[in-house]
Amino acid sequence: MANPIEHGGAAAQSNSFRQQPDEHGHFGGRYGGRFVAETLMPLILELNEAYEAAKADPAFHKELVYYQTDYIGRPSPLWFARRMTEAFGGAKIYLKREELNHTGSHKLNNVMGQILLARRMGRTRIVAETGAGQHGVATATVCALFGMKCVIYMGATDVERQKPNVFRMRLLGAEVVPVTAGAGTLKDAMNEAMRDWVANVADTYMLIGTVAGPHPYPAMVRDFQSVIGEETKEQMRAAEGRLPDVVVAAIGGGSNAMGIFYPFLDDTSVRLIGVEAAGHGLDSGKTAASIERGRPGVLHGNRTYLLQNADGQIDEAHSISAGLDYPGVGPEHSWLNDIGRAEYVGATDTEALDAFQLCTKLEGIIPALESAHAVAYAAKIAPTLPKDTLLVVNLSGRGDKDIFTVAEHLGVTL
Amino acid sequence: MSRIAARFKALAAEGRGALIPYLEAYDPDRATSLELFRAMPAAGADLIEVGMPFSDPSADGPVIQAAALRGLKAGATLVGVLDMVAEFRKDNDETPVILMGYVNPVEAYGYERFCKDAAAAGVDGLILVDLPPEEGAVIAAPAQAAGLDIIRLVAPTTPDARLEYVLAHASGFVYYVSIVGITGTRSASAHDLAGAIPRVRAATDLPIAIGFGVRTPEQAAQASSIADGAVVASVLLATLAETLDEQGRATPQTVPRVLEQIGGLAQAVRAAGQKPE
Ligand SMILES: Cc1ncc(COP(=O)(O)O)c(C=O)c1O
């Protein structure tokens, strides 16, 4: 398996897209950074040192590969979606099956890396934010595995719409704290997790679930998720003898997307497309499309595109999918957008619901509503692409957690 | 000499520390918070911190979060906050005013324009909680050009080597965050403070104010005599919140109750008198 956390080195070109961020944690000199209160500053500096040391330590890498293989179940397959391809009548569709990972999403890739790091740092208590509950479940899972105390902050709205995951986390021994501030979604959960961390710095590790937050989180989470793209590259070479032409991934904070994009950044023939949640429509005012409808600003430790009003107050995001319901996005995506290396588009709630059903019926795979946004955009562009185009969709998670939400929208009572 | 430097110098001559109460702008409405603001000096405020409401105050506890929310609901914007300061300045030219908040609204306003407008309104210093010196370049030059102090936070977690770095980017005074945590949750003991402040004192000539967790007149007296000032926020905002009606509107009790509490704090700070050093 390719080393998921080593990059740069001899293979890196001087004009590489894979050399961000700089030592200050800035992407393209502008995005990212470390915007936290002084109480946390020494901690994130310590975290950065610990991560750099772990990255350079073959023993850490070996340990990570062991858990990736025997616990997460990696590598995940690259599935040729024959019936979907036929139905769309254009590009050849492949699905990167991250939903087959233990706990049902890509989230565990990152969580495993960070929990091993937290253990190296001697921390015994883990706090995390969660939206859909996938990151919370992944975090509760590794805390069970390693016998660590686990506190998960989850917006009260999300606790309501992701009940199965709340129950799962509690079964796993985590304390789930509903957050009622704001709209009770992911951004509010993130604020509350940061408050907990500030108050408990001595024993606590904050395990952020996406490529956002103060440096080094965006780079570190990307590195841990890059195993997705590394595997996709090898698997596509084995299947088709070449690189894919298009890679499509849903964007919440952007970790599954960054994970599959990153290894392809310097392969400029590969089109990278991030699909944001357009909610009721990009111009409806009820959207989570931070890059397409936001402006750069500072929230949760980094500078990035944010949904905000003219006074710099952060707007509530809207998406049918709790995991995409966030008014920000990882800073590396902001940079990739500005330099044009990746494209960012939207898929609406309705398009995602349609894609959810389509993927289920045609491939026998129930995708997470988050991942359904990527499927929806693939369904839109595939018919317009030549038949020899290789298009990979990152199927970031499975949809079992979403059946109640989907049933409700379809008018079915369970 | 800036208003901040002049005020600390005068208080040092009196042999006492400063009482620095906090006010959330537009909480619960513009008129009430302006009335409170204007009456604070007479009640015993030596410097005043004015909170700029932000939607996501991630370093604040429930009390300041609620105050910020009330302020935003009442229509707080940075333009409105600066306008309040300008009105305050119409009949007060001595009491230093420090704006405290988060960086995003300032970034949205534009750093240069904000510093210019804030100075013109009569603001003396800025505390941007989530703008550490590492990211402070965006505001350093505009603030200096406008004559605004950038007040830096120092925490118990700040190691000695970092202390020097942080203080190299500080002006006005140093804000010592006395607890490891968010606002309004716990308090440091006099013993902790007596241990912590000399470490900061050794690294700077600037006055030091202690904040986060100063709630009672006794704590304010202690903090202001161990350091050079005490910032009191959550407990005042909690009192204000108590006086509101069911719809969250101000009542005749609102301003007097908060002022009375400031009076009690001020009395204790003054009585603490002559500092040990
Ligand atoms: C299955 C799945 N996909 C995607 C996301 C969005 O996160 P990210 O953009 O970080 O991959 C989530 C978040 O909860 C998720 O559960």
Nearest alpha-carbon partner for A407 in A331, A320, A298: A320
pLDDT value of position A15 = 85
Report the distance separating Cα A200 and Cα A189, nearest Å: 17
Q: Give which of A1, A154, A129, A153 is closest to A64, Cα–Cα.
A: A1
Q: Does B104 touch chain A (CB under 8 A)?
A: yes
- Residue type, position B128, single letter: L
pLDDT at A182 over 90: no
B105 in contact with chain A, both atoms CB, cutoff 8 A: yes
Contacts of A62 (CB under 8 A, 6+ apart): none
Contact check, Cβ <8 Å, B130/A39: no
pLDDT band per the 50, 70, 90 thresholds, residue A10: very low
Q: End-to-end alpha-carbon separation of chain B, Å?
A: 24
Positions of chain B with pLDDT lower than 70, given as ranges: 274-277
Q: What is the DSSP letter of B131?
A: -
Q: Which of A37, A201, A312 sits opposite B107 (nearest CB)?
A: A312
Contact check, Cβ <8 Å, A187/B159: no
Q: What pLDDT, on a 0 to 100 scale, did the predictor assign at position B184?
A: 82
Contacts of B164 in chain A (CB under 8 A): none
Distance in angstroms (rounded) separating the CA atoms of residues B169 and B181: 23
Q: What angle do CA A309, A132, B64 make, to 5 degrees?
A: 45
Structure confidence by residue, pLDDT tens digits, B245-266 = 999 999 999 999 999 999 999 9
The HSE-up count of residue A259 (CA atoms within 13 Å, CB side) is: 33
- Contact with chain A for residue B28, Cβ under 8 A: no
pLDDT grade for A206, boundaries at 50, 70 and 90: very high
ipTM of the complex: 0.96
Active-site residues of A, by number, are: 107, 129, 396
- What pLDDT was estimated at residue B274? 55
pLDDT of A9 higher than 70: no
Q: A interface mutation test: which of B130, B175, B176, B180 has the most A CBs within 10 A?
A: B130
Q: What is the pLDDT of residues A120-146, one digit of tens each?
A: 999 999 999 998 899 999 999 999 999
Query: For strand A301-306 and strand A295-299, is the pairing parallel, antiparallel, or unpaired?
Result: antiparallel
Whether B49 sits among the annotated catalytic residues: the reply is yes
Please state the three-class secondary structure of chain A as a single string.
Answer: CCCCCCCCHHHCCCCCCCCCCCCCCEECCCEEEEECCCCCHHHHHHHHHHHHHHHCCHHHHHHHHHHHHHHHCCCCCEEECHHHHHHHCCCEEEEEEHHHCHHHECHHHHHHHHHHHHHHCCCCEEEEEECCCHHHHHHHHHHHHHCCEEEEEEEHHHHHHCHHHHHHHHHCCCEEEEECCCCCCHHHHHHHHHHHHHHCCCCEEECCCCCCCCCCHHHHHHHHHCHHHHHHHHHHHHHHCCCCCEEEEEECCCHHHHHHHHHHCCCCCCEEEEEEEEECCCCCCCCCCHHHHCEEEEECEEEEEECECCCCCECCCCCCCHHHCCCCCCHHHHHHHHCCCEEEEEEEHHHHHHHHHHHHHHHCCCECHHHHHHHHHHHHHHHHCCCCCEEEEEECEECHHHHHHHHHHCCCCC
Contact: A38, B56; criterion CB under 8 Å: no
How far lies A301's CA from each of A133, A258, A289, A316, B130, in Å?
A: 22, 18, 19, 18, 8
In A, minimum Cα distance to B162 occurs at A42
DSSP string, B1-38: --HHHHHHHHHHHHT--EEEEEEETTSS-HHHHHHHHH
Residue A317, amino acid? A
The whole-angstrom distance between B62's CA and the closest CA on chain A is 9
Using CA positions, which residue lies closest to atom 5 of ligand 1? A323
Say whether residue A301 is in contact with chain B using an 8 A CB cutoff. yes
Q: Chain A contacts of B182, Cβ < 8 Å?
A: 195, 198-199
Q: pLDDT, tens digit, for every residue of A140-154?
A: 999 999 999 999 999
**CB pair distance less than 8 Å for A37 and B72:** no
A149, A125 Cβ separation under 8 angstroms: yes
pLDDT tens digits, A275-316 = 999 999 999 999 999 999 999 999 999 999 999 999 999 999
| pTM (2 d.p.) | 0.96
- Spell out the residues 6+ positions from residue B227 whose beta carbon is closer than 8 angstroms to its own: B17, B176, B193, B197, B207, B208, B209, B210
